[in-house]
Chain A
Amino acid sequence: MPNILEATGSIPLHTVITLGFYGAAAMYIIFTTILYFHWNEYSINDAVTKTTLILYFVITLPIMAVLGITTLII
């Protein structure tokens, strides 16, 4: 059976993983900007806005950190 790390192909796995990380990071930045803008612009409750944004960063920043670290390891 072929080993996933020894897969032969035109694009090395590390390049795919790195490109995937860059793509995800770009999407994350764009999404976060849009989300932040919407909540600041259209919300009617400051407390809900604050809670939502804090919760968003508390959940997503560790995920982004794991994504970055695993990209470096691979």
Chain B
Amino acid sequence: MLFEKIELEPNEAVLKVVRRHWFVITIELIGTLFFSIMPLFLGLIIAVLPDLLPINFHLETHLPIVLYGISLWLLFTTMMSFMIWTHYYLDLWIITDRRIIVIDQIHFFNRKVSSFRLERLQDIKVSINGIIPTFLNFGTLRAQTASAAESNFMTTGLPEPRELQSLIQKATDTRLKSLQGAVAQAIID
């Protein structure tokens, strides 16, 4: 499982695990559902207008071929649906009290796991564009860090982005205070 691989530090607490908004995956799955029922529409068109086909085609005699074609089509669309679901579910923002882990499942063979510590966070921006994102409260979250390597992290379609921004800012403030306290204590000692 993923948390075993990430290896959280001792006493590190997961504050929130965020995935994209349900609307994002619903739209994608409706698209594949529409694709999967396309043979049905094709069958209806052929049944209503049989002269459209340039060949002598009878459903009764060609039933195995029709079933074969439909099965092949359904297999591909089902695999496509599960690929969409996998990408949706495995794409994550894990916010802990010490860092943010951004997991971007781009394709099956393209997975990006980035992690940055809260004390290195410089800026966090939220943008909500469009009517549906405004009503359903989802948008894009951009985090900029002071890292020398990759300094920008961005994910679209995150639910409740303003609340998420506020949570990250609070966690960052708490983290900075605890670090400052630890430094002051070390100086006193």
Instruction: Pick the residue among A31, A38, A70 that contacts B71 (CB under 8 A).
Output: A70
Size category, A interface? 20 to 34
Q: A40 to B89, alpha carbons, bound, how many Å?
A: 13
Contact A60 B90 (CB under 8 A): no
- A74: nearest chain-B partner, CB-CB: B64
List CB contacts (< 8 Å) of A1-49 with chain B.
1-5, 17, 20, 24, 27-28, 31, 34-35, 38-39, 41-44, 46, 48
List CB contacts (< 8 Å) of B80-125 with chain A.
82-83, 85-86, 89-90, 92, 103, 105, 108, 111
Contact B89 A43 (CB under 8 A): yes
Contact A43 B55 (CB under 8 A): no
Q: Give min CB distance, A6 to chain B, whole Å.
A: 9
Instruction: Pick the residue among B5, B17, B108 that contacts A34 (CB under 8 A).
Output: B108
Q: How many B residues face the partner with a CB closer than 8 A?
A: 32
- A53: nearest chain-B partner, CB-CB: B82
Main secondary structure on A side of the interface with B = helix
Contact A43 B2 (CB under 8 A): yes
Q: A17 to B67, alpha carbons, bound, how many Å?
A: 12
The 9 closest A-B pairs by CB, nearest first: A1-B56, A70-B68, A67-B71, A73-B64, A66-B71, A70-B64, A44-B2, A70-B67, A74-B64
Residues of chain B having any CB pair with chain A under 8 Å: 1-3, 5, 17, 54-57, 61-62, 64-65, 67-68, 71-72, 74-75, 78-79, 82-83, 85-86, 89-90, 92, 103, 105, 108, 111
